[in-house]
Amino acid sequence: MNHVCNNVHAILRIILNNKNMDDSNCMANDTVYMDYQATTPCDRRVLERMLPYFCDDYGNPHSQHSLGVTANDAVENAREQIASLIGVRDRREIVFTSGATESNNLAIQGIARFYREKGNRIITTTIEHKCVLEAFGALSREGFDVVFVPVLSDGRIDLNAFRSSINDRAIFASVMWVNNEIGVCQPIEEIGKICRSHGVIFHSDAAQAVGKIEVDASHVDLMSISGHKIYGPKGVGALYVTMQPRIRLSPLLWGGGQERGMRSGTLATPLCVGLGAACEIAALEMAIEYERLVRLRKCFLEKVFDALPMVQLNGSSEHCIPGCINLSFEGIEGESIMMGMPEVCVSSGSACTSKSLEPSYVLRAINVKEDLSHSSIRFGIGRFTTMDDVEYAVEKLIKVVERLRSMSPLW
């Protein structure tokens, strides 16, 4: 019943006007949320586990007294849950942060600054999240020698170009596990092997991968995780930092030396507990949920391709997560599609870049033609998406695409 969001619930809720009656995470009105890459709703089971740590067990986890110990136990339990999801044995290798943006910045700036005597070359790809690209940009202005490795037209990294980007001055590489715009998965194990054989430290932004697909930390040296992408709370994340061999980081924040000196500041116990709970639930449900999303994706794509000509799937259909579907609708603008179906929450391009009306740099990197990248929409499905939601969204989408095309001079 937790995950059932059917009309009966919605109608009952309206009749009874009682928001607490329904413990599922469905939306109150006729709006369908299809933007799971931008953020996910916090699972109510996660929220329940967090609540005691606001007003009852509020001790500072770094305090020695009983309230502190209670909070610390909860934080360490959460650390264990995160470690377990990504196959890490020693929970001390998990550092809490405020989210994947901070995790990425801590990893990238932290390694570059700590190891700057060893070399100045740092490597990433052209399709990383803005926070990774901008961190590399800042380091480039400090004099680091940045290489942006291209991807192929399916969105997967060009491994030959990656190999040749490594020279004897190379310190580290950062390659995302799963892309947030096109859902494409990178060959992390292979990249990890290349890095290891050249003594290059390897970081991966796994914000879109953890909790969705099997993620094995043994392929990387550092990994970024975000709470709100996996049905946890916003404002918390984690950075896995291997201790074998030990990786050192210059901290971004100086202070009390918490998190083994890498991230000072009092830990937000409720948020840490929430991230831990989110990881525990993901570990339990990921396999079944993955298969369910595969079926929803298949149904969505079949219905769209049956009804509409000249639709293109962007990115790899083979190496991708099922929950991210990026489509281009020839002849019309993505923005117009979005505005034409306000009942369906989607993104045109990436949420961060769509405001600028610039075509997405990710779509450009995979050689999507400029007009087709302007006509792209990202449909994100996840834990609380039902088959009804998919059917409803497709129905709205087909109507708006047909209407816009009938008015378009380009069509």
Which of left, alpha, beta for 173 (phi over 0: left; psi -120 to 50: alpha)? beta
With contacts defined by CB under 6 A, name the span among 56-64, 223-231, 322-330, 373-381 that binds ligand PLP. 223-231
Q: Answer yes or no whether residue 99 interacts with ligand PLP by CB under 6 A.
A: yes
**According to CB under 6 A, which one of 40, 204, 208, 375 is a site residue for ligand PLP?**
208
Residue number, 100 or 151, with CB nearest to ligand PLP: 100
d(CA 238, CA 147) in angstroms, rounded, equals: 26
**According to CB under 6 A, which one of 70, 226, 269, 385 is a site residue for ligand PLP?**
226
CB of 210 to ligand PLP, least distance (A): 10
CB of 63 to ligand PLP, least distance (A): 27
- Residues contacting ligand PLP: total by CB under 6 A: 14
In 59-194 the beta strands, taken as DSSP E runs, fall at 94-97, 121-125, 145-149, 170-174
Burial (CB < 10 A; 0-12, 13-18, 19+), residue 254, is: exposed
Q: Which of residues 230-249 bind ligand PLP (CB under 6 A)?
A: 237
Q: CA of 369: how far to CAs of 152, 329, 360, in Å?
A: 14, 12, 11
**According to CB under 6 A, which one of 50, 82, 207, 325 is a site residue for ligand PLP?**
207
Residue number, 125 or 226, with CB nearest to ligand PLP: 226
d(CA 81, CA 246) in angstroms, rounded, equals: 22
Q: CA of 366: how far to CAs of 19, 127, 207, 313, 346, in Å?
A: 44, 9, 21, 12, 21
With contacts defined by CB under 6 A, name the span among 201-209, 238-246, 334-342, 376-384 that binds ligand PLP. 201-209
**According to CB under 6 A, which one of 129, 156, 263, 292 is a site residue for ligand PLP?**
129
**According to CB under 6 A, which one of 57, 205, 289, 333 is a site residue for ligand PLP?**
205
The candidate with the shortest Cα–Cα distance to 195, out of 216, 212, 178, 218, is 218
Q: Is 352 designated active site?
A: yes
Task: Say whether 237 sits in a helix, a strand or coil.
Answer: strand
d(CA 302, CA 272) in angstroms, rounded, equals: 40
Q: Answer yes or no whether residue 40 interacts with ligand PLP by CB under 6 A.
A: no
Q: Answer yes or no whether residue 101 interacts with ligand PLP by CB under 6 A.
A: yes
Instruction: Report the helix count and the strand count for the chain, using DSSP H and E.
Output: 13, 12
With contacts defined by CB under 6 A, name the span among 70-78, 159-167, 200-208, 281-289 that binds ligand PLP. 200-208
Q: Which of residues 172-191 bind ligand PLP (CB under 6 A)?
A: 176, 180
Q: Answer yes or no whether residue 347 interacts with ligand PLP by CB under 6 A.
A: no
Catalytic residue among 185, 272, 299, 352: 352
The candidate with the shortest Cα–Cα distance to 394, out of 8, 34, 22, is 34
Query: Residues 258, 62: contact at Cβ < 8 Å?
Result: yes
In 150-250 the beta strands, taken as DSSP E runs, fall at 170-174, 201-205, 222-226, 237-241
Q: Which residue is nearest to ligand PLP (CB)?
A: 99
Residue 390 tokens, joined: 């998919």
* Amino acid (1-letter code) at residue 405: R
CB of 316 to ligand PLP, least distance (A): 16
Residue number, 72 or 208, with CB nearest to ligand PLP: 208
Q: Answer yes or no whether residue 78 interacts with ligand PLP by CB under 6 A.
A: no
Q: In this structure, what are the phi and psi dihedrals at residue 56, rounded to the nearest 5 degrees?
A: -105, -65
Residue number, 233 or 359, with CB nearest to ligand PLP: 233
Which residues are CB-neighbours of 149 under 8 A, at least 6 positions away? 123, 124, 125, 126, 157, 158, 161, 162, 165, 175
Residue number, 148 or 392, with CB nearest to ligand PLP: 148
**Which residues on neighbouring strands pair with residue 345, listed in sequence order?**
33
CB of 384 to ligand PLP, least distance (A): 18
Residue 372 tokens, joined: 């087709």
With contacts defined by CB under 6 A, name the span among 49-57, 69-77, 94-102, 327-335 that binds ligand PLP. 94-102
**According to CB under 6 A, which one of 78, 83, 107, 131 is a site residue for ligand PLP?**
131
Q: Answer yes or no whether residue 100 interacts with ligand PLP by CB under 6 A.
A: yes
Kindly list the residues in this chain that would bind ligand PLP in the complex (CB under 6 A).
99-101, 129, 131, 176, 180, 205, 207-208, 226, 228-229, 237
Tell me the catalytic residues.
352
